[in-house]
Structure 1
């Protein structure tokens, strides 16, 4: 199977005054279409830098990054804006909802920018919020706000869903519900999902597991036996 996401010898150097900080060096990995990939590593290992480069929010210093046949690392600013808007869905630890818009409006605002969005009401039903369309973020629990945030990302019908510690602000049971939602959505839509986390227990839910340490990929493997999130304990 041709890889869908591909990193080739990727390096990233930040300059802090005269000091060079090597955030990533010689990173190589691939993810196939429709896979759930969990990238795991300690804080400061380079996970978020990696995700930001893939999402077009940061540039690399060396190497190449591809999504399908498109070389993201060769895109100019305007193409990167279109790429972020049309091809990528983002889910962060904090929900970034607009407080004075309802759940429905928060999702609609994302889908208005896209050519072929999934209707906001349909996707909110999919994530279990069909009864909460007219609620404002302050009227929703943390788990419900994260569902709105996921619905907003999914409404764009993105080629790739990037999740940065998506359960970090949630309690254990709510976090499991959110991960089950991501697992179910990936299976249902054949969507490629990349989740970064410091919680190595989550690797059991992934089709592919990548360990990042000190800015490099220390190991990567396909998961022969994917476990449903309901059966994983941590």
Structure 2
């Protein structure tokens, strides 16, 4: 049985008198420990899928199973618990607390979950051993994104969800962030889902889910994913 399974998920938004179907009968599976990329053009419904998977939004119909739990059937209180304990989020913009150091930003996340990882260890893992006492304003964009990833990883989540995690970064820095995410997946067996419109990075994934016009266009299995270092775009 798949670790994550979306079955016939539908999500509509009312915009004035217009109804927009952002997710139109979406179904796909993700196995435990996989690195998955959801790719598609802007407005295809990728972020909607991520928000539903992360418990930040609820679908109108369908089933969303994550490690045996039907997230679609959760109450708002249950969704809060799910987001807190089971999901790590990484966004395009880092959303760090500006008056806290890198270490304090990571410790803040660790305080709200059941089995956190030591903040210092996670910051070392993301390559920031010597930047722990720096404030966000003293860090580069790439370093701030590493803090954001460390913050997500410190929660020891079942699932790491990344929405355009390199969107605000230059090519070289973006590549180093993708390598960090790929290495984390491989070394820690963490299930990682990355949303992007950049089709060039899809060779690094175990599974690629192409979304177009709110529907799954196709799913590609890649038995031999490429290391990020070998991908050029």
Report matched runs for 1:52-131 at 5 Å: 52-131=51-130
- Give the match for residue 189 of structure 2: 190
- Give the match for residue 146 of structure 2: 147
RMSD: 0.5
Q: Kindly state the Cα deviation for residue 17 of structure 1 after the two structures are TM-superposed.
A: 2.0
- Give the match for residue 30 of structure 1: 29
Q: How big is each residue's C-alpha offset from its partner over 1:31-59, in whole Å with a ceiling of 9 and x where there is no partner?
A: 00000000000000000000000000011
**For the residues of structure 2 that align with 1:97 and 1:107, how far apart are their CA atoms?**
9
Q: How big is each residue's C-alpha offset from its partner over 1:175-232, in whole Å with a ceiling of 9 and x where there is no partner?
A: 0000000000111110000000000011100000000000000000211221000000
SS in 2 for 1:212: strand
Normalising by structure 2, report the TM-score: 0.99
Normalising by structure 1, report the TM-score: 0.99
Give every structure 1 segment of 4 or more consecutive aligned residues whose post-TM-superposition deviation is greater than 3 Å: none
**For the residues of structure 2 that align with 1:208 and 1:168, how far apart are their CA atoms?**
21
- Mark the runs of 5 or more structure 1 residues left unpaired by the alignment: none
- Give the match for residue 137 of structure 2: 138
Q: Kindly state the Cα deviation for residue 28 of structure 1 after the two structures are TM-superposed.
A: 0.6
Q: How many residue pairs are counted as aligned between the two chains?
A: 233
Q: Kindly state the Cα deviation for residue 116 of structure 1 after the two structures are TM-superposed.
A: 1.0
Q: How big is each residue's C-alpha offset from its partner over 1:2-51, in whole Å with a ceiling of 9 and x where there is no partner?
A: 21111100011111122111111110100000000000000000000000
SS in 2 for 1:90: strand
- Mark the runs of 5 or more structure 2 residues left unpaired by the alignment: none
SS in 2 for 1:8: strand
- Give the match for residue 228 of structure 1: 227
- Give the match for residue 218 of structure 1: 217
